[in-house]
Structure 1
């Protein structure tokens, strides 16, 4: 039996990260050196976000928006970490250019995923192929490294720092 609007191919539910799962311990090179995610989180709420590559206008809007709200994330004791499929050197150069151009520091690390292994873990490859467009995800992790919320946007829709702050604020005040 088929239904109108049914996806062409169903996702393997076992391969998807879901709310309630422990986020995998990732190790990668990034804009601030080597990072091991579980050690870096150290019991904090964390927003782990992805963007397809450096030098995209959507990623620029997002990074600047997140940087402008860093004091609010800090007040919630929430860390930010990004992931790009660009190499670490390209990402560092881009971050430096953005900081100089806009007079705004990008204080959070962006890790590199040149080989796509993190994108695979996050379910980005399958989505990108199915939609034929890049997809950006935000994972909100609790202090116990469990995923509390997931946001997905198709490129070129930028994510909102205000919305991420709202979600983290609710999770923290509810002690979820």
Structure 2
């Protein structure tokens, strides 16, 4: 006979005995997440519309962003309709804030790349993600950050001739 208390709609019981796994998200959390996906998709679709969609024979700059945005909206609606049946989402915890920090640093990266080039921001972003968010050693963080930046430079600037701001 089980002595567990029944779960509420927002706090499903965790049938696994793995203590390292984050707690499962409830229906309310899954619905809020689905709504956020739909809103982001709608905002991106509005931005794509402003870029110009073009036509099927002559696509505009907003064509691909519009298609991706439409996919986001459709997936968000699917998530909302399946919110009661799905149980594989994790509850937001303090570690979920790492995602917000990562997105914030990416926004800062995009903001400064046109001002000082991509090399310094790329090294700093990778270093921050590896050392602070990933808790890697200083040696690993520095080597991987510099190595990845050199590889990106060789690929995008050297081989593909992408017109991105760069120092060298």
Which protein is richer in helix relative to its size?
2
TM-score by length of 1: 0.24
Q: Which has the higher strand share?
A: 1
RCO comparison, higher one (Cα < 8 Å, 6+): 1
Q: Rg larger in 1 or in 2? A: 2
The two structures have a TM-score, normalised by structure 2, of: 0.25
